[in-house]
């Protein structure tokens, strides 16, 4: 998000076909709630295309990368790493540490699909649980980002959108953005 160090979401364990929708939602949630970039490990061209289309229409900045080099990303990441897992420490106990780490440098937030290799648990600075109950990487990511940014992400400004949604109490209103305005 603007005025801060980069926040990148790393999506591990993507299974083409089976996880397309969930991986797309990880990317859309990362974008909507203030992350700067999502990196998807594996073959995820469909998810990337959908997330890119949303960014072109509703704005950014936000980028999507697909990689087979996620181990290197983890190894060489220049800031702290938070791994979302139901086995971790409660987010309410670590959110201050997450904020402090992000005040000093970029933050990598790792989410899984199927079983996450144990070396990711060992490599992470924070193994973070959003409750110690099993649920979804999309839900976990949303809560983490909101706690990280303290709600400021909800008022984010979007750049280079072609369209914007006009909030209405009832109905659906979408209007083109005038680039001259
Ligand atoms: C369907 S779960 C997979 C759980 C899997 N049994 C495991 O060993 O990690 C997919 C992802 O959702 C996220 N997740 C699920 N429950 C969570 C929780 N309570 N707190 C934080 N993240 C969670 C984790 O990132 C996990 O890798």
Ranges of each domain in the chain: 7-176
Lookup: tokens for 51: 């997330």
Atom of ligand 1 at shortest range from CA of 116: 9
- Is the C-beta atom of 111 inside 6 A of ligand 1? yes
Pocket test for ligand 1, best of 21, 84, 90, 141 (most atoms within 8 A of CB): 84
- Cα 98 to ligand 1 centroid, rounded to whole Å: 19
Q: How far is CA 64 from CA 44, 59, 151, 174, in A?
A: 10, 13, 23, 24
Residue 3: its pLDDT value, please? 76
Lookup: tokens for 87: 């086995």
Alpha helices in 59-163 (DSSP H): 70-76, 91-104, 118-123, 137-149
Q: How far is residue 50's CA from residue 52's CA, in Å, rounded to a whole number? A: 5
Residue 181: its pLDDT value, please? 66
Residue 68: its pLDDT value, please? 93
Contact of 147 with 120, CB cutoff 8 Å: no
Atom of ligand 1 at shortest range from CA of 129: 20
pLDDT means per 10 residues, the chain with 181 residues, are 90 95 98 98 96 98 96 96 98 98 98 94 97 98 98 96 97 90 66
Residue 140: its pLDDT value, please? 98
Residue 170: its pLDDT value, please? 97
Atom of ligand 1 at shortest range from CA of 134: 16
pTM of the full predicted structure?
0.96
- Is the C-beta atom of 133 inside 6 A of ligand 1? yes
Residue 111: its pLDDT value, please? 98
- Cα 137 to ligand 1 centroid, rounded to whole Å: 6
- Cα 100 to ligand 1 centroid, rounded to whole Å: 24
Residues 6+ apart with CB under 8 A from 152: 1, 34
What is the second-level CATH architecture of the domain 7-176?
3-Layer(aba) Sandwich (3.40)
- Is the C-beta atom of 168 inside 6 A of ligand 1? no
Residue 114: its pLDDT value, please? 86
Residue 1: its pLDDT value, please? 79
């Amino acid at each position: 998000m603007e005025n801060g160090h980069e926040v990148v979401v790393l999506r591990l364990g993507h299974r083409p076909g089976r996880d397309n929708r969930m991986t797309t939602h990880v990317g859309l949630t990362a974008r909507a709630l203030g992350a700067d970039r999502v990196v998807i490990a594996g073959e995820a061209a469909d998810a990337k295309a959908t997330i890119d289309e949303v960014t072109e229409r509703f704005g950014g900045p936000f980028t999507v990368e697909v990689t087979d080099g996620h181990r290197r990303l983890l190894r060489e990441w220049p800031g702290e790493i938070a791994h979302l897992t139901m086995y971790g420490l409660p987010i309410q106990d670590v959110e201050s540490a997450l904020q402090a780490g992000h005040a000093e440098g970029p933050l990598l937030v790792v989410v899984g699909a199927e079983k996450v290799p144990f070396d990711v648990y060992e490599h992470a600075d924070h193994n973070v649980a959003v409750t110690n109950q099993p649920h979804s990487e999309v839900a976990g990511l949303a809560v983490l980002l909101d706690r990280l940014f303290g709600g400021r992400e909800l008022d984010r400004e979007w750049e280079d959108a072609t369209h914007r949604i006009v909030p209405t109490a009832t109905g659906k209103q979408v209007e083109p953005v005038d680039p001259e305005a």
